[in-house]
Structure 1
Amino acid sequence: MLVRDDVETERRVRPRRVWRVRLAAGLAVLFAAGTAVRAGGLEAGAFLVPMVSFTPYFALAALAGLGVAVAARSRAAIAVMVAVCACLAWLVVPRAVGGGEVPAGGRPLRVLTANLNGGRGDATVIVDLVRRLNVDVLSIQELTYSARDRLAAAGLEALLPYRIGRADFRGPEGSGLYARHPLRERTGLFQPVGHHMPVAEVSLPGGSAVEVVVVHPVAPVPSTVPEWAAGVAALPPAPASGPPRILAGDFNATLDHAVFRRLLDTGYTDAAASTGQGLNPTWPQGRALPPLVTIDHVLTDARAGAVDVQVFDVPGSDHRALFADLRVK
């Protein structure tokens, strides 16, 4: 009788064990494929390009997948998931640790970038940030004529009297650059693909200059993924000579997009990642969900570095404003 009971129990347990092993194996294959896409820069198309933005969350989910493999006692699944978790940690953790170098004796340059969401961002909040953070350079995206007037009425021109750029009736196209020090607009540096992206040299006290590019390629929605990729790829590489170059704006790309990493590989450093703030999300703000991904960036070439990065909510905008306290050699 006991033998019969043991056999019946084994028959009931065996299917459950088989399904646990199959679930663990399926998850291992899924996570391995997703990790290969991210590590190999294989994202393409209207589905994978947006999805790769969520790699940090994918890394957290992989830990849960490892737990399933352990519970299923599947050695193969455990081995795969351990490798997946290690690879994702190597890709994601450094941006939360920082450790970027700051040029010795560098001069302070405080940069703020903000997307106004079709001109709807609160101008008073932007100007208050400029005043409170003692901002030297303000990069504005989605600058409309009405937003430009509201910024002026809030007192921006008294704080940053120099300006280049172009406002627009439509939300996404306009961009502007405001500065505490004189600006000299540059043309011909690169051929923008996307929205208006002005470039200027900021004449710092003492005669030195820093080149600043306002960045705003199109968003990678299904109909514009090729244009988005071309827009990020068209941004100017980090220079080895001439004025130090800073790219600041809404890149519509995260540190997990291959086209963005190729831009970094030319010699740029992401200010947020270098200060351990690379997982601080900037979009979307003001919706049912909290901000999820980091698509607003300040990049510096090898002659500059960040000592501090902060993000701030801007009522009316779907982006957080990003502040970088830089030191320029």
Structure 2
Amino acid sequence: MATTEDTLPLLPEKPVKPRRRWWTVVVWLAVVPFVVWAATRTFGLEGGFPAVQLIAFTPYVAAASLVPLLVAVLTKRLWPALVAALATIALAACVLPRWIADSSPGPDGGPAIRVLSVNMLVGGADPATIVGLIKKFGVDLVALQEYTPEAKDALRSAGLEDVLPNVVSYPRPGVTGSAVYSRFPVTDLGYRLFESGFGQAQAGVRVPGATEIRVESVHTCAPAAASQSACWERDIAQEPAATPDGAVSLLIGDFNATLDHEGFRSVLAKGYRDAADVVGAGFEASWPFDERWFIPGVTLDHVVADKRVGVRTVTVHRMPNSDHKAVYAELVLPKGAA
């Protein structure tokens, strides 16, 4: 005798609509690039051109990653939504900390020093604006990059040496010149020459009541093309380590790198903190600043300080006739007998 179960008619399987499959493919195609980007940024895999250039725009990608996540949720694609959420969380974890001030900005009992970094764009930056910023903020020390012989003369005429009379100066034609001007006495520690031809003025600076400090006006080779990626990697790898038991180190200038570059994070791992990151100003873009460019801004210029240094503020300022903004920071040095 046939059972009741045997007599039930078999229902036909519900076919998967081609349109539903198509939407699933589209959603995955939208999600995967963000997953790849998140993995590249998280694990520092951006070596080579054009990845080195592209990774600088990670904050914008982090914001854009919400779009495929929203699409996956609205179209009820569970697995794409979960994967997209993981990518968004990973990217957010990489970029959001630079927007939040550290709970411990560092010591606050030593003398303050106010510093400024200016990439002069082949010596063309407006000298009056540079001197004006120095006077406005009471800057004690300025690090200059792309410092040419003509720029040196123009800055002297604008009165720079009247306010910052002590200088370590290495003017060069083109983009490799470098200088440090200081209100305080300085010692010329030479010109760090990289294999790429770029170089950095090095100065010992004696600030009353502070530990001895060592300053470099940083400028690395720019990874602007495939042929220049290797020179950028070599230059940034050769930035000096901090000396916790010696002079306090400050690296100030154009690193041609952001916090999203593994090379720059490796510099910080040598005993430094990025001043803008410390005070929650890590999204303050410094490049490009030029009416000819239509590129989202990124933060290539930094004040990098020994971990013993406190940070009070970091701001960026327009610099006519340069493609970079100037970076200003107020730091607090550890006490010393210097």
TM range, smaller chain: over 0.9
In structure 2, the residue matched to 1:7 is none
- Take 2:194 and 2:202, find their aligned partners in 1: how far apart are those partners? 10
User: Conserved in 1, the CA contact under 8 Å of 2:211 and 2:248?
Assistant: no
| Structure 1 residue 299 corresponds to structure 2 residue 308 | no
User: Conserved in 2, the CA contact under 8 Å of 1:140 and 1:175?
Assistant: yes
Q: Which one has a bigger Cα radius of gyration? A: 2
2:316 to 266, 288, 311: 311
Q: Deviation string for 1:34-55 (max 9, x for gaps)? A: 1111111011211101010011
Q: Structure 1 counterpart of 2:194, which letter?
A: P
In structure 2, the residue matched to 1:245 is 249
- Take 2:211 and 2:147, find their aligned partners in 1: how far apart are those partners? 29
2:189 to 168, 186, 190: 186
Q: Structure 1 counterpart of 2:297, which letter?
A: L
Q: Structure 1 counterpart of 2:305, which letter?
A: T
| Structure 1 residue 160 corresponds to structure 2 residue 155 | no
**Percent of aligned pairs with the same amino acid:** 37
Q: Structure 1 counterpart of 2:145, which letter?
A: Q
- Segments of 5+ residues of structure 2 without an aligned counterpart are 1-13
User: Conserved in 1, the CA contact under 8 Å of 2:193 and 2:199?
Assistant: no
Name the SS of the counterpart of 1:204 in structure 2. coil
- Take 1:274 and 1:267, find their aligned partners in 2: how far apart are those partners? 14
Q: TM-score, normalised by structure 1?
A: 0.92
* C-alpha deviation, 1:97, in angstroms: 0.7
Greater percentage in helix: 1
Q: TM-score, normalised by structure 2?
A: 0.90
2:61 to 58, 61, 66: 58
User: Conserved in 2, the CA contact under 8 Å of 1:70 and 1:78?
Assistant: yes
For residues 84-103 of structure 1, the aligned pairs below 5 Å read 84-99=87-102, 100-103=104-107
Name the SS of the counterpart of 1:230 in structure 2. helix
In structure 1, the residue matched to 2:327 is 322
* C-alpha deviation, 1:107, in angstroms: 1.4
1:138 to 115, 139, 142: 142
Q: Structure 1 counterpart of 2:322, which letter?
A: S
* C-alpha deviation, 1:72, in angstroms: 2.1
For residues 10-159 of structure 1, the aligned pairs below 5 Å read 14-99=17-102, 100-159=104-163
2:275 to 260, 268, 271: 271
- Take 2:166 and 2:82, find their aligned partners in 1: how far apart are those partners? 58
- Take 1:323 and 1:193, find their aligned partners in 2: how far apart are those partners? 29
- Take 1:291 and 1:86, find their aligned partners in 2: how far apart are those partners? 22
- Take 2:187 and 2:52, find their aligned partners in 1: how far apart are those partners? 36
Moved more, 101-110 or 42-51: 101-110
